[in-house]
Amino acid sequence: MLRINYVTELLALTGLEYTQLLFLTGVVFIAGIVRGFSGFALSALIMASLATILPPFEILPMNFILEAAAGLMMVRGGIKDADMRVVIGLVVASAIGMPIGLTLTTTAPLELTRIFALSTILILAILLFANIHPRNPERATILYSAGLLSGLVTGIAGVGGMVVVIYVFSLGRRARVIRASLVMYLFLSLVMSLFYYVYFDLMTEIVIWRGATLAIPTIIGVMIGSRLFSNAHEKFYRIFCLGLLIFLATTGLLRVIL
């Protein structure tokens, strides 16, 4: 009886049905595994999986909580291997782009903004997969442009990390440096994201309960994914990440269009 009452109370606090809660738990667990291995894609996988169940403006702040949980698990290794000059430049520029994206999300037609974000990511990923990227990507103008676009896309669809991974790949770094830089970018972006989610009144009590409830399966997934990443797997990292980007962007576009 106590267990039934606990589940009933949890469903009331999270505003979810039982089957929805089970589905969300499975989604965040799998997304956590991918995040632990690749260093990104947690928010993108969750957004792509849940956009037909929950409104995106509810998913975005929930993803913030889950990203915070994942970031705390992975930040220790990220500090050592990350290219912090690149990370800080991306974070600063992203802080400018994010409120623009959130404004569009809360005012413009949802389908239009999602098509813009996903199309941008798909085009960039295909170009990088074909080894087509800007010359001298470490130039300040390109660095800050990537950060600005990341913040914009984060505000629109919560997938700014996908833009960052495309930019960092263009630098030609080792897989371990790329992964660590992504971890640090997402971690340092958390404070900025919290400020904007509170400012736009998106961090509601229900969202907080959902994030807190789903943080445990997310952390378990991240721990499993982190163990899967090793020096032996670095040669597969680029193909895996770019393939994942193209898959997520394509499936997201198909969901919107169809």
Angle at 19 (CA atoms; ends 155, 1), nearest 5 degrees? 125
Distances (CA, A) of 58 to 86, 113, 247: 30, 16, 23
- Tens digit of each residue's pLDDT (9 = 90 or more) over 25-55: 999 999 899 888 888 778 878 877 887 788 7
For the chain, what is the mean pLDDT? 83
User: Is residue 246 over pLDDT 60?
Assistant: yes
> Taking the model in full, what pTM does it have?
0.77
User: Is the distance from CB of 173 to CB of 234 less than 8 angstroms?
Assistant: no
DSSP letters for 53-83: TS-HHHHHHHHHHHHHHHHHHHHHHHHHHS-
The CA distance from 66 to 11, in Å, is 18
Q: Which of 193, 156, 181, 190 is nearest to 241 (CA)?
A: 181
Within 82-159, residue ranges assigned H as helices are 84-107, 110-129, 140-157
pLDDT the model gives residue 210: 95
CA distance 78 to 121: 24
